[in-house]
Amino acid sequence: WGSFEAAIENGRLDRTRPFRRDRNPSALTDVIPEAVYASSRVRAPAVREGWLEGRASSRRERGNERFVEVDWETALDLVSSELARIRSDFGAEAIFGGSYGWSSAGRLHHARTLLHRMLHAGGGCVGQVTNYSYAAGMVILPHVVGNADPVSGRMTDWRAIVENAGLMVFFGGINRRNF
């Protein structure tokens, strides 16, 4: 999202503008107030109604049932008791400690690190090796280009690519500062 300055009106985020010293600000800065107050934003923990009423409820209604908001203390108690039940009934190997959640610079904002810290403190979990992007490349590229060097070998410097390419096409996010 980048660094930005915020204008608060009557206790609400009214508008944002890029940080004045940012030479290449993100266009996403403009949509921050809209994102903060979007009707689709999850504002509180929520639990599937049937499961909340009876933990052994039918799973047939998954995807159809409404979700009921609960306070944070209730949500934490539900998660804690469910993790304890799974460990007791099936062992730590029945809990997958993987997450592709949002993260930013540093380990404090890294979802997988925080998830592992919590799950290992409570008795353990099964981790993961590599990630879906890298792992997919390791499996697919040998069939496409003959080996996995594009993801595991020496990499070409961005500057060399920019200087020698007529056209660069990116899929997904790439920050202009990278090249």
DSSP assigned state of 126? B
Contacts of 162 (CB under 8 A, 6+ apart): 168, 179
Please pick, among 1, 37, 51, 102, the residue that the annotation labels catalytic: 102
The question of whether 72 is a catalytic residue gets the answer no
d(CA 93, CA 111): 20
* Interatomic CA distance for residues 20 and 148, integer angstroms: 43
Among residues 84, 79, 49, 44, the alpha carbon closest in space to that of 64 is found at 49
Q: Catalytic annotation on 102?
A: yes
Tell me which of 1, 37, 100, 158 is the catalytic residue. Answer: 100
- 45: number of CA atoms within 13 Å, CB side? 12
- Catalytic residue positions? 100, 102
